[in-house]
Amino acid sequence: MASILIVRDYEKAAAATNFDELWRSLSNDELFELRVMFERVTGQMLTAQFNGATPEDWATMRRVLGHLERLVRRVNSLVGSADWDNEALVTSSLARAELEDRAANEPPEYLAIANALYETLRTDLWYGGAGESFRDRSLFTFQKVPELPTLDDRSYDIFISYKTSRHADDARRLADRLVAQGYRVWFDKYVLDRLGSRPEVFETEYLLAILRHGVKQASCTIIFEGMLYAAALGPGESEEELLKKRQLMRVNDAPVIWDWHGIEIAATEWGITIHPDTITAFHQAGGKVLWSTQYSYYGESQREDAIDAALRDVASARTQGESS
């Protein structure tokens, strides 16, 4: 089983609104290493219980936590989920991270935290890799993650994309009807339970891979009310940071609020959207809609007929596009 580097109890630390809450949330060892990180940035070592710390100190500590979260994500992206006892791999990944830091002209605060993290990881490698002693005592630890489940490589006629909170029953009825008509349907309730090596709970990266792969394997995606919401950046927020935190995503080159449904929409090339009173068949690529046609309907029976007509039009348009 693979491992990833994490900041131990990061969610508790990130939820703290002042030093007192932070002190009550973390262990003594975790707090000590966090104070060391703070000292690297400011040259000031806070007391064990943060006595005398100022609001400006708290603002700096919040930035320190943000830098740590970003750094751990970057290091994991370079090392991947490989064996962290592989000293050569980890060392080369850290060296690459340092080169990228310098090339990106990162701010001094970030560089100070980065150097402290890299030193910590190198010290651990020197003493034998990601061993129990490192995990037990450090602000940084390793979390086991399951291997990527076997992806379903079957081809499908239709992928059904919907929000469980809004369209679960409608999506299930549509899936059952299309299967009865002879279509090969990718529907989460059909597919996910039969994936090989499935973990009890899908990690975000794994489920992303599964859903994008499912859309790719299907000839057409049927999307229930594909609504994406424009994102507005708050004071001090950057699009890059929100993208990394998965609070934001880009669809058709525009920033929108991150959403599982949106991931499937963004991965779709040939699709059908279902809205009240209208069905739209479309083909998109490179952020542009290249072809579309719309059908009006009234009531369930007409909606089914409109979906069937849209499926025929998508099939015909795909055939013409592939033969041209």
Give the tens place of pLDDT for each residue, 9-41. 888 888 889 999 999 988 888 899 899 999 999
Which residue range forms the structural domain that includes residue 84?
Answer: 2-145
Q: Give a yes or no: residue 65 inside a domain.
A: yes
Contact 8/139 with Cβ under 8 angstroms?
yes
Show which of 98, 122, 145 is a domain's final residue.
145
Residues 137 and 170 in one domain: no
**Measured between alpha carbons, how far is 160 from 93 in angstroms, rounded to an integer?**
39
Residues 106 and 210 in one domain: no
Length of the chain: 324
pLDDT of residue 197: 46
For the full predicted model, state whether its pTM sits above 0.95. no
Q: For the chain, what is the domain count?
A: 2
Give the tens place of pLDDT for each residue, 160-185. 999 887 888 999 999 999 999 999 99
DSSP 137-205: H-SEEEEEEPPPPPP----EEEEEE--HHHHHHHHHHHHHHHHHTT--EE-HHHHGGG-TT--SS--HH
pLDDT of residue 201: 45
Residues 135 and 203 in one domain: no
- HSE, CB side, 13 Å, CA atoms: give it for residue 96: 12
Residues 167 and 308 in one domain: yes
Residues 263 and 129 in one domain: no
Residues 168 and 304 in one domain: yes
Residues 177 and 291 in one domain: yes
Residues 262 and 136 in one domain: no
Please name which of 174, 141, 140, 147 lies closest in space to residue 158, comparing C-alpha atoms: 174
Give the tens place of pLDDT for each residue, 253-290. 666 555 667 778 888 899 999 998 999 999 988 767 88
Whether 247 shows a pLDDT value over 80: the answer reads: no
State the Cα angle at 263 between 243 and 248, rounded to 5°.
20
Residues 191 and 275 in one domain: yes
Give the tens place of pLDDT for each residue, 73-121. 777 777 755 566 677 777 887 888 888 887 777 888 988 998 888 888 8
Total Cβ atoms within 10 A of residue 258: 16
Show which of 145, 179, 208 is a domain's final residue.
145
Q: Give a yes or no: residue 37 inside a domain.
A: yes
Residue 111, beta-bridge partner list? none
Show which of 84, 119, 145 is a domain's final residue.
145
**Measured between alpha carbons, how far is 208 from 153 in angstroms, rounded to an integer?**
15
Residues 296 and 174 in one domain: yes
Q: Give a yes or no: residue 150 inside a domain.
A: no
Residues 101 and 129 in one domain: yes
Residues 123 and 226 in one domain: no
Q: Give a yes or no: residue 7 inside a domain.
A: yes
**pLDDT averaged over every residue in the chain:** 80
**Measured between alpha carbons, how far is 147 from 82 in angstroms, rounded to an integer?**
11
pLDDT of residue 75: 79
Q: Give a yes or no: residue 151 inside a domain.
A: no
What residues contact 15, with CB distance under 8 A and at least 6 apart? 21, 25
**Measured between alpha carbons, how far is 61 from 215 in angstroms, rounded to an integer?**
42
Contact 274/245 with Cβ under 8 angstroms?
no
